[in-house]
Structure 1
Amino acid sequence: MNSLSKIIIVTLLIFLCSPIILATKQIPCDCKEVRTLSLKYPPLQGDDVWELQKQLQKLGFYKHKLNGSYDWQTYVALKKFQYINSKSATGVVKQKTWLKLAKALGKSPFVTVDNKKLNSPQGEISLVVDGYSRQLKVYSNGKLYHTFPVAIGKPSTKSPIGEWAIVHKDADWGGGFGDRWMGLNVPWGKYGIHGTNKPGSIGTAASHGCIRMYNKDVKLLYSWVEVGTRVKIIGNRDPIKLTHQLRPGHTGKDVLLVQERLRKYGFQPGYTDGRFGASTKEAIKNLKYIYGLKDDVVVDENVFYILNLK
């Protein structure tokens, strides 16, 4: 095989493998198929183990630090829970265990809030996810129509604060996504609103950043919203560092921070969606004109200073 042939083959392999690698990295780790947890060596580790420990801790069975490792302490705590709640202490976690945990925590994954049938709201629908109260609020023509309990991102993987839009709907994701998936246009990761196979997590900060709902509730919401529905997420987030100038076409948390500050100072950057688009460009242009700065749309040190970002 000559050198040219080798180069062509290597190039083709990179081309074919790259989409697979990218797609795998985009899937949040808490949205996989439910796996069976049991005591093994080396110990199983992951977000699902962390959630198991957290729920057992809330119920008073697990009294150690949350470490996401299915170790001996986790095994003993689970067996105590299983013995009290089912008389079958196997130390093995399957889907039925998650449902029993939810029941023990006083959470019902099978009914909607208020246990009543709701008609589809009329008018323009928008959603607000309140990370402080762990609620998803549905608005119809600007008026609150209904509220659902949700789970948000855990402290180490917070949900994306900002103003987003639903850009994808799918009824057949399965696995950790539960019964429905509504993808959001967050530019730095794959986030969405979806059902869950861990109903005991609802009302807590437990996910990898996505918004979880009871499967019964997410089916109802899915029937109400369309692609393009606006979704605002509020709550705590990690500090955002500004490390370089920003220009039209840039995306990221730093752009979102600038958008928020522009709005605070009376400019109109459009949605705070982390995208340096036409509205943000116009807002920067107006700011620079008012303050007598260079006639361009670059977010530089002068803009950072005016917006009190540095």
Structure 2
Amino acid sequence: MILIIIFGCTLTIFAIESGPTCDCGQLRILGLKQSRMQGQDVQELQRQLKELGFYKRELNLVYDWNTYLAVNKFQKANNLTIDGIVDEKTWLNLAQALDKGKSQEVASEKLKPPEGEVFLLIDAYKKQMTVYSDGEPYHKFPVAVGKPSTKSPIGEWAVIAKDAHWGGGFGVRWMRLNVPWGIYGMHGTNKPGSIGTAASHGCIRMFNRHVKILYSWVDVGTRVKIIGRRDPIKITHNLRSGQSGKDVLLFQEKLREHGLDPGYTDGRFGDSTKKAMKDFKYIYGLKDDLVGDENTFYILNIK
């Protein structure tokens, strides 16, 4: 079994069967127009082209003539249609070109899968994923995590869906986590320059070549834990079995701090949390109703 720990893209909620729908910074189709296109996506394009040696000017946020010429040169060098239009195919080729130049990791065919029990630790502070095998560090990958306004979900999750053919503007591979308040996952990126930063809408971005390696190591059911900085959580109502959300996650954390075992801190009030709640109420002589109420929150120091 593989266990993964992640720190750190929210997405609109859809059923798993509908496939991943990620809002992780989707880019416009860029091109040279009479009314010049401007924005951070243009600057990201210029930055990538400059790193690859195709763009020689200063970054200026404007899709101008010099940017157009640089795009044409890149498209010609990579056997793409030479039209100066930056669509998903061009973004993906840019990502792949940068992956080849920047990544110092061993190629996937030379990096053997971990043989022991595996878990992943994704540290939102360090922007790094560490793969453990039988409790020992096995390999590390740099990642991008959620930006301050859209932090990655902190907690202990599981992989509930995988898609090997997911690509387009977001790079390759998709592994979804069972976060109850949104769709979050790990995937490749068309923004390799964001790796090592807090830049996503909450998802974990990886270099495309790295996420291909990870994908082969992860199964549906793999446990995932995410640690990092998060926004304050308030509990505004009683908590009961069957509920889910950030308030339940906080409740689970507090039960664990008091020496009880609520199971995974996954924001779901299930059987393990019910057992911890039963033990808690017995210890403190509270009514055995399995309801998190004002008395419970007071003892757990939840404000």
Q: Of 295, 299, 302, which residue of structure 2 is paired with 1:302?
A: 295
1:34-183 mapped onto 2 (5 Å cutoff): 35-38=28-31, 49-50=39-40, 53=43, 61=58, 74-75=61-62, 93-94=86-87, 96=90, 108-109=99-100, 113-115=104-106, 117-183=110-176
Q: How has the CA–CA distance of structure 1 residues 85 and 21 changed in structure 2, closer, same or farther, with 3 Å as cutoff?
A: closer
Deviations 1:112-170 (A, max 9, x none): 54335210110211111110111111111111110001111111111111111111111
Partner Cα distance (2:212, 2:201) in 1: 21
Q: Return the TM-score normalized by structure 1.
A: 0.74
Contact 2:94–2:190, Cα closer than 8 Å, also in 1 = no
Whichever residue aligns with residue 61 of structure 2, its letter is T
Deviations 1:160-191 (A, max 9, x none): 11111111111112224422111111111111
Q: How has the CA–CA distance of structure 1 residues 301 and 50 changed in structure 2, closer, same or farther, with 3 Å as cutoff?
A: farther
> Aligned residue pairs: how many?
272
Residue 220 of structure 2 corresponds to 227
Q: CA deviation at 1:306?
A: 1.0
Q: Pairwise CA RMSD of aligned residues?
A: 3.6
Partner Cα distance (2:257, 2:13) in 1: 40
Q: How has the CA–CA distance of structure 1 residues 79 and 145 changed in structure 2, closer, same or farther, with 3 Å as cutoff?
A: farther
Query: Any idea what SS the aligned residue of 2:236 has?
Result: coil
Q: Return the TM-score normalized by structure 2.
A: 0.76
Q: CA deviation at 1:79?
A: 6.5
Q: How has the CA–CA distance of structure 1 residues 74 and 212 changed in structure 2, closer, same or farther, with 3 Å as cutoff?
A: same
Partner Cα distance (2:277, 2:43) in 1: 48
Partner Cα distance (1:41, 1:241) in 2: 50
Question: Could you say which structure has the greater relative contact order, defined with CA pairs below 8 angstroms and 6 or more residues apart?
Answer: 2
Q: In the alignment, does 2:15 pair up with 1:28?
A: no
Partner Cα distance (2:179, 2:213) in 1: 23
Q: CA deviation at 1:226?
A: 1.2
Q: Of 281, 290, 299, which residue of structure 2 is paired with 1:288?
A: 281
Q: How has the CA–CA distance of structure 1 residues 286 and 22 changed in structure 2, closer, same or farther, with 3 Å as cutoff?
A: same
Q: CA deviation at 1:91?
A: 8.9
Whichever residue aligns with residue 30 of structure 1, its letter is C
Q: In the alignment, does 2:256 pair up with 1:256?
A: no
Contact 1:191–1:210, Cα closer than 8 Å, also in 2 = yes
Contact 2:71–2:84, Cα closer than 8 Å, also in 1 = no
Partner Cα distance (1:113, 1:265) in 2: 44
Partner Cα distance (2:14, 2:178) in 1: 17
Q: How has the CA–CA distance of structure 1 residues 79 and 255 changed in structure 2, closer, same or farther, with 3 Å as cutoff?
A: farther
Gaps of 5+ in 1: 1-19, 63-72
Structure 1 vs Structure 2: percent identity of aligned residues?
57
Larger relative helix fraction: 1
Deviations 1:218-247 (A, max 9, x none): 111111111111111111111112111110
Residue 208 of structure 1 corresponds to 201
Q: How has the CA–CA distance of structure 1 residues 52 and 207 changed in structure 2, closer, same or farther, with 3 Å as cutoff?
A: farther
Query: Any idea what SS the aligned residue of 2:62 has?
Result: helix
Q: CA deviation at 1:108?
A: 3.4
Q: How has the CA–CA distance of structure 1 residues 198 and 304 changed in structure 2, closer, same or farther, with 3 Å as cutoff?
A: same
